Structure 1
Amino acid sequence: MKSLKQAIRHHSHIIKNGILPSVFFNNQLIEIYCKNGLLFQARHLFDRMPERNVFTWNAIIAGYVKNNGLTEARSLFDTAREKDPVTYNSMISGYVGGGHECQALELFAEMHGNGTHIDEFTLTSMLNLAARMSVVGYGKQIHAYMMKTNNDSDCFGVSSLIDMYSKCGCFLDAFRVFSEPGERDLVSKNAMAAARCRQGELDLALNVFWKDMDSNDTVSWNTLISGCAQNGRGEMALELFTLMAKNGVRKNEHTFASVLSACSSLKALKHGKEIHACVLKNGLTLEFVHKWWLSGCLLEFRMKEKGVPDALILINVLSACAIQSALNHGKEIHTYILRSWVEIEEKLGSALVDMYAKCGEIKYSEETFKRITGKDRVLYNAMMGGFAHHGRVNETIRIFKDMLYNCIRPDAITFIALLSACRHAGLVEEGEKYFDSMIKNHGISPEIDHYSCIIDLLGRAGQLDKALLMIERMEVKPDAIIWGTFLNACKMNRNVELAREAEEKLLRMEEDNGARYVQLANTYAAKGEWSEMGRIRRKMREMEVKKHPGCSWVYVENKMKIFVSNDRLHPEAEATYRMLEALNAEMKCGEHCSTMAGLMNL
C-alpha cells in the first residue's frame, strides 16, 4: 500500500468481510494514517489491535512525534512493552525539535544506561541538541564517541558536526571536520557553506558554493542568498536570486523570505514588489504573503518618515494592518499621523475607521468617525460596515439615516452593510424594506452579495420557499455563493428535499471543491439522513477532493497565534478548548438568565 486511498480501501474490505488482519498489515495502516495526519484513526486501530510488536509501537509513537503530540507520544513510550533504537530516536528527535532539552538528555542517558544500541540517528539528534544549547563541550563529547565507534565519517554525521561546531562559534573545528579525508556529499557542502556565512566569511562561502556548481540544489542557493542578506550583501543576494531563476532551480518560501529580507535592508521597495508578485505567482501561503505585505508597507512608510509620507502610503499601511488584525502597528501609524499633524481627510479617515473595526476596536472606530468633518460616502460605508461586522444593527441604521440626512447618496456597498446588519439581527421586514428601497428609491441593481444577504436572512427566519423564489427571480445568474447560502439555510431548517435541489446545482458548479461536499454531508447529518451523508462522503472520496481546514489567527504580545479547525495538536490546544468551553457555558447561562427574566416579566 502506497497511498491513503489504497489503505482505506483495503481497511474497509477487511472490516466488511470480517477478516483478521496481520500485525504487519496493521502496522502499515498506522504508518499511512499518521503520515496523512489521521492520528485519531491510527490510534483507534492501535488500541484495538489484539497483537502488537515493536514496529507497531514505533509507528504510533513516530506519528504523534511528527504531528507535535509529544505528551501522548511519551505516554505511549512509557507503556511500550518493546523498545529498540528507533523508539528512542523518535522520542529524542521530537524532544530536540520541540526545545525540550532536559527530556532529550534524560532519554539519551537512559538509552546508554540500559545498553540500547546508539546509532548515527541518535548521535545526529544529540549533535543538534548541542548546537541548540550552544554547549560545545557536550558536542565534543559526542564527537569523541562518534570517533570511537567509527560514526564520524558518515555523511549526515559530518554535516551535523559542521553545523554543531559553527553554531557554537568554533569555526576552525567545523572547517577541520570538513577538510578531513573522505568524500563530501552535497549535505556536508551545504553545511560548510552555512558555517562560512555564520562566520561572516562570504567569500569563502561562495568558494564552497561555486565548487562543483552543477550539484547545487535549492538548499545550496537558499543558504547563500540568506547568508548574503544577513551579512549586509543585499545586492549579491539579489544577483544570486536572479541567477537561480536563470538556472531553473526551484524556489520555495525560504528563498523568497531571504530575498525579501535583502530588499528590506536595501530599502528596494520596487524590487520587493516585483518579488511579491512572484510569490503570488508561485502560490505560496496567504500568511506568508500578508506578512510580507505588512512589512513592505511599513518599510515604505519608514522610508519616507523623515519627510511626510503621502496619504496613499498611510492608507496602504493601515489596510495591511486591517487585513492582518495588527492593532499595535495600526495604533503606531495613527499616533504618527497625529504627531505629524497629517490631515485626516475622508480617505485616510476611512482607512483608520476600517482598521480599528477589523481589529475589534469598534469604540476607537466610532470615535475616529465622529472627529472627522466633511464625511463622504466612503467614510460612511466604512463605519456602517464596521458596525454591521460587530452586529450593531441599530447603530448601522442610525449611520445610514444620518447619511441620507446629509444628502449623501448611498451606493451598492452601503446596502451590503445594511443588509448584513439586518441578517445578523434577524430583522426580516427591515431587510426586505431596505432591499426594495435600494432598487426602487435609489436605482441600484442588486448584486450577488445583496442577494446572498437577503437569502441568508430569509433562510434564518425559516422562510425557505420565499428564499428559493428570490433565487429563481434573480436578475443575475445564481452562483455557488448563492446556492451555498441557501444550503446553509436548508441545514438550519433541516429541509432535506430543498437541500437535494441545492446539491445538484452546487456540485455542477464546484464539483472539485471539498468544502461543498462537507457542507452537504453536514446538512444531511443534521436531519439524521445517514445514508445520504455516506453517499456524499463516498462521492467525495471517488472524486479525490479534500477540504482545507479553516484557519484563523490572532496577535498576542506582538506574536501571531494561528489556529486550525479541530486542531488537537496545537501546543496551546488544551488551554484554548478549556477557555472555549468556559465561554460556551457562560453564554448558555446568559441565555438562560435572559429567558427567565422574560418569563418573569410576562
Structure 2
Amino acid sequence: MSATRHSPMSQSSTLLHFLRHVSFPPDPHLLPSALKSCPARPLARALHAAAAVSGLAEDPFVASSLLHTYLRLGAPGDARSVFDRMPEKSVVGWSALIAGYSARGDAEAAWGLLDRMRSAGIEPNVITWNGLVSGLNRSGRALEAVTSLARMHSEGFLPDATGVSCALSGVGDIKQVSVGEQVHGYVVKAGCRLDACVATALIDMYGKCGRADEISAVFRESTHMDVASCNALVAGLSRNSRVSEALLLFTEFFSRGVELNVVSWTSIVACCVQNGRDLEAVDLFRKMQSEGIEPNAVTIPCVLPAFANVAALMHGRAAHCFSLRQGFLHDVYVGSALVDMYAKCGKVQDARTVFDAMPSKNVVSWNAMIGGYAMHGEAANAVQLFRLMQNLKQKPDLVTFTCVLGVCGQAGLTEEGRRYFIEMQKRHGISPRMEHYACMVTLLGRAGKLDEAYDLINEMPSEPDACIWGSLLGSCRVYGNVPLAEVAAEKLFELEPENAGNYVLLSNIYASKKMWDGVNRVRDEMKNMGLKKEKGCSWIEIKNKVHTLLAGDNSHPMMTAITEKLNQLAIEMSRLGFAPSTDFVLHDVEEQEKDNILAVHSEKLAVALGLISTSPGTPLRVIKNLRICGDCHEAMKFISCFEGREISVRDTNRFHHFKDGKCSCGDYW
C-alpha cells in the first residue's frame, strides 16, 4: 500500500466522498461497501462512529463488515470489541476472530476463543480450523500450525486441501519430514493429492526437508503444470543442488507455454547463481527481459553476483542503470549487491561511489565494501573504512573480521592482524571461527612465520578443518617448506580425499624444488584415486559478451589469432630478456615443452584475446577460477609494459592490477 493512500489528507477526502454520496442515516448496504474498500484504521473508526450514531452498528451485516475490516487492518482489539457487542455470534464471526488472532501469532488467544466458542454452544467447522492452521503458519508459528492440524484430525474433522497445504508449509519450516510423510499419506487416502495447491505444498515441503527425489516423484504424479508448481520445483531443487534438473524442468514449463512470472524467473536465476552456473544465470536474465518480464528489487541482487563472478561489467552497469530508473537504489540489498559487483569486476572506486550514495547501510553493505578493498589489496582503505564503521556505531560481525584479517594477511600487516584478532574477541565478544583462524594462519605463514602458524593450529580449541590446513599448505608453497607442507597435505588428504587441488599444490611444492620423485608419487596417487587436476578457466568480457577460455583448449573460434598473438609476445619477451619461470610446471619434461605448457594457461589466452579484440590502450579485466601462477604473474607484468595496457586479473585469492610492468600486490602474494 502506498504512502499516499495512508496520508491523513487522502483518508479525509475518502471520508468526505463517502459522506457526500450517502444519505443519512447511512444505508446498511453502502456502509459495508465502504468498509470493504477502507484503506486505514482511522477511516475505519470514522465509519464505525457513523454507524454507531445512526444505530446501524448492531446490524448483523454492518457488524460483520466492521469485524472483518478491523481484522484486515491488523486491529484485533477493535475487532474483539465489535464482536463482543454482536447480539448474535455466528460461526462465521467466531472463525474470523480466531483466524485474526492466529495470523498475529497469538496462539493462546486463538485457542481460548475456540474454547469460548464451544462453551457458547457453537461447534467449529472446517473453515474455523483452516483459519487457525493458516493464520499460525503465516505468523511464523509453524509448529503450532502442524499441531493444530493434528488436533483437528483427532477431533473428527477431515482436513481439506486448504488446511493440508498450510500445514505442509509449516512442516517444511520445522523440517519434520516424518510428519510430512504422514500428511502425504493422508493426502493420498483422502484423494486430494491431485489438487494443485496440495501438490505444490508437497513439493515445497520436501524441498525444505532436503528430499529431492520426492520432489520429482510428487511432480510426476501431479497433472498440473502451473506457475506455482514451477516456482516450488525450482526452489526445492535449488535448495538441494539439483540445478541441472531445475533448468530442465523450467525449460519444459516455458516450452509448454506456462505463464511464468517474475518470481519464476528470479528463482531460476538465483538457482543458477547459488550453484555456480553463472553464465546460465546471465543468459536467463537476458531471456527473461526479452520475454517482457520486468526484473524487480529481488531479481537484481540475485543476478548481480553472476555478473560479478564472470566479470560481466557492462551487464552489471546496465542492471545499475535499470535499478536507478526503477527507484531500487534505496533498497539496501540492491545497493550492497552493486557494491559487491563493482568490486569483483575490478572497479573498486565505483563500488565506493555506490556505497557512499546508499541512503541506508547495514552490516552486509559495510562488509561488501571492506571485502572489496581486501580483494584489491587496498589494506589502508579497508582498515580506514573498518574504523569509520566502528565510529558510526555499526557493530562488526564475523564476516567483517574475516575481511579485515584477510587484508592484513595480503598486505603483510602482521602486528595489525594480531591486534584485530584479539580485539574481535575482547572488545566485540566474537569467538574466532575456522575462517578467522585460517586468516591468521595465512597472515603468519605469508610473513614467513610458518612455525608460529603451525603452533597456532595446534593450540586451536577445536579440530582444524581443511581450510586451516589449506592455508598452511599455501604458505608452505611460498617459502618452499617441504616438511611442513607434507604434514599439512597429509591432514588434507584425510579431510578431503577427493579434492584434487590439495594433491596438485603438494606436487607444485615438490616441482619447485625439482623433487621429481615426489611429483611422480603424488601423480600416481591421484591416478589411482581417479582424480584429475581442475582445468584452469578464465573469463573476459569484450563488447558486452563474456568469453570463456580453458587452459590447453583450442575450441575458441579465434584460437588461431590468439596463438599467433601469444607467439609474438613470446618472441618479444625472449628478445628483451624475459625467461619463462618453468619452476611452475609440475612435470619433469624438457625446457621447451615446459615453455609450451606455460604458454596455454587460461589467463594468457584471455589476455591475448583481449589484446587482439580491443583498441590499443583499452584496459583488460580477466577472472580466473584458480590461483595465478608465478610465470603468468611475471608475464602479465611484461605485457602491461610492452603493450601499454592496464591488466586486471582476479584469481581465487585477490585482484592483481598490472600497469607499467608492476603489480598492485607488490609481488607479495
TM-score by length of 2: 0.45
Report matched runs for 1:7-26 at 5 Å. Answer: none
Tell me the alpha carbon deviations over residues 35-73 of structure 1, each in whole angstroms, 9 at most, x when there is no partner: xxxxxxxxxxxxxxxxxxxxxxxxxxxxxxxxxxxxxxx
* Structure 1 residues 519 and 424: CA distance shift in structure 2, 3 A: same
* C-alpha displacement of 1:399: 0.5
Is the aligned partner of 1:410 residue 2:396?
A: yes
Instruction: Identify which of 545, 548, 556 aligns with 1:562.
Output: 548
Distance in 2 (alpha carbons) for counterparts of 1:418 and 1:272: 36
SS at match of 2:541: strand
Is the aligned partner of 1:463 residue 2:454?
A: no
Q: Which one is further off, 468-477 or 407-416?
A: 468-477
Instruction: Identify which of 506, 525, 531 aligns with 1:520.
Output: 506
* Structure 1 residues 587 and 449: CA distance shift in structure 2, 3 A: farther
Is the aligned partner of 1:290 residue 2:343?
A: no
* Structure 1 residues 375 and 279: CA distance shift in structure 2, 3 A: closer
Distance in 1 (alpha carbons) for counterparts of 2:273 and 2:377: 34
For the Cα contact (< 8 Å) 1:521–1:532, is it kept in 2? yes
Distance in 1 (alpha carbons) for counterparts of 2:262 and 2:372: 31
List alignment gaps of at least 5 residues for structure 1.
1-233, 242-250
SS at match of 2:298: helix
Instruction: Identify which of 255, 264, 267 aligns with 1:262.
Output: 255
For the Cα contact (< 8 Å) 1:487–1:523, is it kept in 2? no
The root-mean-square deviation of aligned C-alpha atoms, in Å, is: 4.0
Q: 2:375 is aligned with what amino acid?
A: H
Q: 1:585 is aligned with what amino acid?
A: F
Number of corresponding residues? 345
Is the aligned partner of 1:473 residue 2:459?
A: yes
* C-alpha displacement of 1:443: 1.0
Report matched runs for 1:189-268 at 5 Å. Answer: 259=252, 262=255, 266-268=259-261
Is the aligned partner of 1:303 residue 2:296?
A: no
For the Cα contact (< 8 Å) 2:444–2:452, is it kept in 1? yes
Q: Which one is further off, 319-328 or 407-416?
A: 319-328
Distance in 2 (alpha carbons) for counterparts of 1:594 and 1:330: 28
Is the aligned partner of 1:362 residue 2:348?
A: yes
Distance in 2 (alpha carbons) for counterparts of 1:272 and 1:264: 14
* C-alpha displacement of 1:543: 1.7
Distance in 1 (alpha carbons) for counterparts of 2:301 and 2:267: 20
For the Cα contact (< 8 Å) 1:448–1:482, is it kept in 2? yes
Instruction: Identify which of 529, 536, 552 aligns with 1:543.
Output: 529
Q: 2:377 is aligned with what amino acid?
A: G
Q: Which one is further off, 577-586 or 348-357?
A: 577-586
* C-alpha displacement of 1:546: 1.3
Tell me the alpha carbon deviations over residues 163-221 of structure 1, each in whole angstroms, 9 at most, x when there is no partner: xxxxxxxxxxxxxxxxxxxxxxxxxxxxxxxxxxxxxxxxxxxxxxxxxxxxxxxxxxx
Q: Which one is further off, 290-299 or 509-518?
A: 290-299
Q: Which one is further off, 576-585 or 562-571?
A: 576-585
Larger proportion of helix: 1
Q: 1:510 maps to which residue?
A: 496
* Structure 1 residues 342 and 517: CA distance shift in structure 2, 3 A: closer
Report matched runs for 1:126-145 at 5 Å. Answer: none
* C-alpha displacement of 1:255: 5.6
Tell me the alpha carbon deviations over residues 447-468 of structure 1, each in whole angstroms, 9 at most, x when there is no partner: 2221222211211111110110
SS at match of 1:561: strand
Q: 1:34 maps to which residue?
A: none
* Structure 1 residues 487 and 260: CA distance shift in structure 2, 3 A: farther
* C-alpha displacement of 1:343: 5.0
* C-alpha displacement of 1:547: 1.9
Tell me the alpha carbon deviations over residues 284-342 of structure 1, each in whole angstroms, 9 at most, x when there is no partner: x8356434564477579x6346xxx4x33332233443344332222222222323344
Structure with larger RCO (C-alpha < 8 A, sep 6+):
2
Q: 2:293 is aligned with what amino acid?
A: M
Q: 1:150 maps to which residue?
A: none
* Structure 1 residues 404 and 466: CA distance shift in structure 2, 3 A: same
Distance in 1 (alpha carbons) for counterparts of 2:288 and 2:447: 44
Tell me the alpha carbon deviations over residues 244-268 of structure 1, each in whole angstroms, 9 at most, x when there is no partner: xxxxxxx999966854763899445
Q: 1:47 maps to which residue?
A: none
Q: 2:201 maps to which residue?
A: none
* Structure 1 residues 287 and 341: CA distance shift in structure 2, 3 A: closer
SS at match of 1:303: coil
Distance in 2 (alpha carbons) for counterparts of 1:326 and 1:288: 10
Q: 1:247 maps to which residue?
A: none
Distance in 2 (alpha carbons) for counterparts of 1:280 and 1:325: 14
Larger-gyration structure (1/2): 2
List alignment gaps of at least 5 residues for structure 2.
1-225, 234-243, 566-603, 612-631, 643-657
Q: 2:636 is aligned with what amino acid?
A: L
Distance in 2 (alpha carbons) for counterparts of 1:262 and 1:520: 49
SS at match of 2:440: helix
* C-alpha displacement of 1:420: 1.6
For the Cα contact (< 8 Å) 2:640–2:661, is it kept in 1? no
Q: 1:352 maps to which residue?
A: 338
Tell me the alpha carbon deviations over residues 337-380 of structure 1, each in whole angstroms, 9 at most, x when there is no partner: 32334452433321221121122221211111122244332211
Distance in 2 (alpha carbons) for counterparts of 1:274 and 1:419: 34
Q: 2:404 is aligned with what amino acid?
A: L
* Structure 1 residues 531 and 353: CA distance shift in structure 2, 3 A: same
SS at match of 2:330: coil
Q: 1:585 maps to which residue?
A: 638
Q: 1:262 is aligned with what amino acid?
A: S
Q: 2:544 is aligned with what amino acid?
A: N
* C-alpha displacement of 1:389: 0.9
For the Cα contact (< 8 Å) 2:382–2:407, is it kept in 1? yes
Q: 1:440 maps to which residue?
A: 426
Q: 1:476 is aligned with what amino acid?
A: S
Q: 1:98 maps to which residue?
A: none
Q: 2:59 maps to which residue?
A: none
For the Cα contact (< 8 Å) 1:272–1:296, is it kept in 2? no
Distance in 2 (alpha carbons) for counterparts of 1:503 and 1:514: 11
